Structure 1
């Protein structure tokens, strides 16, 4: 029997990417194809959970496409559908926040919530060997994938790289604005060398808003990617087996 329009819509996924600078959203089909515009708005200056949820609600209303599931990429550590850290959002406001449950209740749909770099990685990697994605934006995001399997998330951004700075401080937007493009690229080169030595990856992908400023000559196994390149991650997230770092939250029963 032919597939009806309603049956097609029943597999649509709302993909949300929450960042320190902007919040992005679109509706995808189960294959990861865009069904709506890839739309973004500035992250609220006072980026509390309440402000971010309000922004998400208003952004989704502009997409004008039905969806049955929701994927959220969040810039921090996530466990079992709850946010534990958010270094680049409102300070001390994001500990143990049940963001997935709140979004699920707003839209009445099941939600999966993971780190934003992890979600982007799902849409980018080839599934061959040890692949790493890192994002250079407001902060420094990381994701590790082995033969297509998303590994447990590590907040490598908070490892020290100097006596006084972690990776977020060293390579984030504040550092870029302070030291300029040339010195920022020198710092990025140092980070790449550390990653080559520590992880011995097969492929490294670099994305995030500041990746457009990269002037380094990159090795053959290092590729620049965009937020749009990783958008399929919102669909891929729903193909993963549910376990410790991929957790489905359903709307609360009224």
Structure 2
């Protein structure tokens, strides 16, 4: 009897949009990539309801992978700076999604999930996402290193979210913003000394300066494919599975 191949619902929660698709075991999209606007100052209930609306017409899936824009510990949200931070503090989002959609869930930071979909798995690699805020992830030979919220390192009068996030782009204009991004990349090249850097997020395409040879632009469609690797233990990533109650 032919074994039925599992399907994976991959969800990328962002400050401006929630994106989703169905992936097969090879990480290929089974349906067109879909997205919906993230409600302003979104609460956990807003996010779960938005996901329900987004995937209403999706075909069958067996497991769920979620990338979230904040610090995650064992499937529990600790920070959500670009959503309703207070409402999300210590909220077990993975359990809420698992119970709502009756499927097992693995949930990580969004830059971590995107990185799993785009890295080469050779050497020390860094992922930076430029969107509503500033996201980062680090990998060594394909293995995800402990997540650091580098976005909240202090710089000037705020943090990196303030320095090169959406609000800074709107206030500074494209040329000043690019100069600031260039200085941030130089800083992290010195501090992290990565072999390769992958730049993603909605604002990455607005970069207008020449990137170093070890820096590559990647799209959200590539990053969401990282959802399959959350379930592949051979890729060196082990994250808690949360089952429906």
Q: Same fold (TM over 0.5)?
A: yes
- Do residues 106 (structure 1) and 104 (structure 2) align? no
How much has 1:240 moved relative to structure 2? 3.0
The equivalent of 2:136 in structure 1 is 142
1:78 Cα deviation from its structure 2 partner:
0.3
Quote the residue 1:57 is aligned against: 52
Deviations 1:58-83 (A, max 9, x none): 111132x1111000000000001111
CA distance in 2 between counterparts of 1:219 and 1:96 reads: 39
Paired residues of 2:19 and 2:36 also in contact (CA < 8 A): yes
- The answer for the alignment partner of 1:230 in structure 2 is 223
CA distance in 1, matches of 2:147, 2:27: 22
Q: Could you tell me which residue of structure 1 aligns to residue 110 of structure 2?
A: 116
1:27 aligns with 2:22: yes
Contact 1:79 1:245 in 2 (8 A): no
- Kindly report the root-mean-square deviation, in angstroms, between the aligned alpha carbons of the 2 structures: 1.5
Name 1:83's counterpart in structure 2.
77
The number of aligned residues is 245
* Alpha-carbon contact 2:144-2:237 (below 8 Å) kept: no
Q: Distance in 2 between matches of 1:13 and 1:158?
A: 32
User: In 2 relative to 1, CA 82–124 (structure 1 residues): closer, same or farther, beyond 3 Å?
Assistant: same
CA contact (8 A) 2:79 2:85 kept: no
Which runs of at least 4 in structure 1 moved beyond 4 Å after TM superposition? 241-245
TM (norm. structure 2) is: 0.97
Alignment check: 8 A CA contact 1:80 1:244 kept: no
CA contact (8 A) 2:144 2:236 kept: no
Bigger Cα displacement from structure 2, 169-178 vs 228-237? 228-237
